[in-house]
Amino acid sequence: MLIINNKEFAKHKQLINKTINFDEFQRLKDLFTDENLDGEVSFSMQGDLDSANRPILNVLIYGKITTLCQNCLEPMVIPIKYNAVLPIFDNEEELDNLLFGEESLESDGLLFDLEFDVLSFIEDEIITILPLAPKHDSCVQIFYKDKTSNPFGELKS
């Protein structure tokens, strides 16, 4: 567990660099039920202030995960690359206004949190960028046809 006050972290321009094996991400392991899940991810989280003097987190996540292709059931490697600048907002109203308001300038953001769980956040971001059913590019066009007879086929002929 890695807990920070995300606003103070940003204001003091602190930095976290860490490499984590996927075994440490329980929700990710639950999502991919095969035993072949393997890999590690490195991330960097740098606090800073933007031009409007708002606290922000610069987040970079990179690595690769090995899992099974959902078509051929052979191992496949999925590269992970995520790069974002996330402003920190004091409340949900401020976050909603800047994300969804008439003059929305931001595409993503975080709420201020005294106990921001960094590893849980990193795991959330990895889960959102991974495909739900990973497939090799060469397997995408493979289709399986049910060979049972179609009673409506008789009517067609």
Each residue of 60-105: pLDDT tens digit? 999 998 888 888 888 888 899 999 999 999 999 888 887 777 655 5
Q: Which residues of the chain have pLDDT under 70?
A: 32-37, 102-107, 140-157
CA 112 to chain centre: 20
pLDDT of residue 151: 63
State pTM to two decimals.
0.80
| 8-state DSSP, 11 | H
Which helix (DSSP H) or strand (DSSP E) does residue 123 occupy? helix 118-129
Which helix (DSSP H) or strand (DSSP E) does residue 84 occupy? strand 75-89
**Which residues pair with residue 149 across a beta bridge?**
none
Residue 54 tokens, joined: 């708002």
DSSP 137-155: GGGTT------S--HHHHH
